[in-house]
Structure 1
Amino acid sequence: MSLSQDEIAAAATDLFEAERAGAQIGLLSLRHPEMTMDDAYAVQAALVERKREAGRRIIGWKIGLTSKAMQDALKIDIPDSGILFDDMLFEDGGTVLAGRFIQPRIEAEIAFIMKGPLSGASITRDDVLAATDYVAPSLEILDTRILRADPATGQTRSIVDTIADNAANAGLVLGTQRHDPAAVDLRWAGTILSRNDEVEETGLGAGVLNDPVAGIIWLVERLAAYNQSIRAGDVVLSGSFIRPVEARPGDRFHADFGPFGTVTQSFA
């Protein structure tokens, strides 16, 4: 890593306060041009600890940047990950209060709810299926506590900004339908995402590393490198198979996953 412990702590504090204030900070990649992905995950870990000290409870993980389009946009070839907290969970069919987020966007994903732990660097597809209680349709709410682009230089956010900012994680909405992952071809589990009854995006589960289960395998292997693991009871968002759609005040989103289920969320 290239950042000092003081620099890591300062970045985490800035992100924590930005979320509380609803005001974005400047690009960390501009502040620290030498910043690496290991630095970014160290900032994320420090941010997570600040949130835990504030009383928030970890409920799982999210996997991001699983599609080729999003990886190409950030000039990387691997996904990233972040932490889910209890205050991020929104009820299906509910409404997000005005001012809760800064620049929210919506993605559609398949959520894995775990009944057993997963750890180690040699996880198989069968291991993931055996440890999964059920899968469900879901929406992820993204937000960014870091500017998308620096107004002075035009420099855009990089992968280190996104990772440090808890992988742009902000909320999740779980559908009520539950499925046995071994009984469903998740590659063909797709959605039609509508905003205010107008179709905005469509996609299939295969957009996530060719199989959403592959996203879980990647996460477990990445966590192993940091002596972390998935726990029984965790919710894991396996990665979006559509581009993020802006959530404006007054918008209503409906994700139709066909036989897999539906998820709805509105924004005041």
Structure 2
Amino acid sequence: MQVIDEKVIQFADCLIEAEKNRKAVEPLTSLDQEITVETAYQVQLVNIQRKANTGQRIVGKKIGLTSLAMQKLLGVNEPDYGHLLDEMKVENRGALPYEKVLQPKVEAEIAFVLKKDLIGPRVTELDVLQATDYIASALEIVDSRIADWNIKLQDTIADNASSGFFVLGDKQVAVDSLDLSRIGMVLYKNGEVMNTGTGAAALGNPATCVAWLANKLFEYGITLNAGEIILSGALSAAIDAEPDDFFQARFAHLGEVSVRFC
């Protein structure tokens, strides 16, 4: 039986209370400058297990920090990951009460839904494509329990990779006929174009991100399972969201996905 360090429990308590009370906390890295990436992932897993114990169900994973710009900003050379739970899903064209978030931002991504397990440590892009049932357009509502998004890598990892909610588009598309790196996307806020991007923004190819994730999870004894949803990484910068904002992303081949904050 694995013994969990007391400090891991303290950090996990801090973040779970911030989420419950909707009151952001100071960075964990300011409370303990020696916190490691390994410790941060342990914190994440403790809180995911707590939520699973209350009946929430893991439905997938998300990949963050896939852009070189964000990696440079946080001083890292690889992405990070978090867990998706069933209570984090918002229906396409649905509404998300603003009282459920703290300081949300919206990103447009390509989602993979798996039909086969992906087990590291030597998963390739081809393995990912062969294991994918379909891809779909997606919006991720990232959020942070850390005040003012004043985060370092360890802070966002511990905070479940700054996860909030996610939305999947309705259109399900096979991957065998598409160049994922060239799928274009336009993100709108209240009808105004905010930014654009392509699949290449996510480590050159979203399938590369999923392969990285499968191999990274091997280090923690975790696999990507058939039926899981994988958010492969933002195709452009995250946009701040306020009450009554309406976000819509239009993707080449993948159709539209939208959400409104209420």
TM-score, scaled to structure 1: 0.94
Q: Which amino acid aligns with 1:233?
A: G
1:1-80 maps to which residues of 2 (within 5 A)? 5-80=5-80
Cα distance in 2 for partners of 1:143, 1:184 equals 31
1:129-144 maps to which residues of 2 (within 5 A)? 129-144=129-144
Q: Would you identify which runs of 4 or more consecutive aligned residues in structure 1 move more than 6 Å?
A: none
Partner of 2:214: 220
Partner of 1:153: none
1:92-131 maps to which residues of 2 (within 5 A)? 92-131=92-131
Cα deviation, residue 183, structure 1: 1.2
Question: Is 2:182 the counterpart of 1:160?
Answer: no
- Report how many residues are paired: 259
Cα deviation, residue 258, structure 1: 3.0
Cα deviation, residue 191, structure 1: 0.9
Question: Is 2:196 the counterpart of 1:196?
Answer: no
Cα deviation, residue 259, structure 1: 2.9
Cα distance in 2 for partners of 1:5, 1:76 equals 25
Range 196-205 or range 118-127, more displaced: 118-127
Cα distance in 2 for partners of 1:261, 1:240 equals 17
Identity of aligned residues (%): 40
Q: SS state of the match for residue 98, structure 2?
A: coil
Cα distance in 2 for partners of 1:73, 1:136 equals 29
Cα distance in 2 for partners of 1:124, 1:144 equals 31
Partner of 2:177: 183
Cα deviation, residue 21, structure 1: 1.1
Structure 1 unpaired stretches of 5+: 150-155
Cα distance in 2 for partners of 1:215, 1:256 equals 21
Question: Is 2:262 the counterpart of 1:260?
Answer: no
Partner of 1:206: 200
Partner of 1:170: 164
Q: Which amino acid aligns with 1:137?
A: S
Q: For 1:245, which of 239, 246, 250 is the aligned residue? A: 239
Partner of 1:230: 224
Partner of 1:152: none
Tell me if the contact between 1:16 and 1:50 (Cα under 8 Å) persists in the aligned partners: no
Q: SS state of the match for residue 177, structure 1?
A: coil
Range 70-79 or range 132-141, more displaced: 70-79
Range 48-57 or range 208-217, more displaced: 48-57
Cα distance in 2 for partners of 1:148, 1:250 equals 21
Cα deviation, residue 98, structure 1: 2.8
TM-score, scaled to structure 2: 0.97
Cα distance in 2 for partners of 1:258, 1:220 equals 26
Q: SS state of the match for residue 76, structure 1?
A: coil
Cα deviation, residue 73, structure 1: 1.3
Tell me if the contact between 1:141 and 1:170 (Cα under 8 Å) persists in the aligned partners: yes
Q: Deviations over 1:202-224 (max 9, x none)?
A: 10100101000000110001001
Q: Deviations over 1:127-148 (max 9, x none)?
A: 1111110000000010101113
Structure 2 unpaired stretches of 5+: none
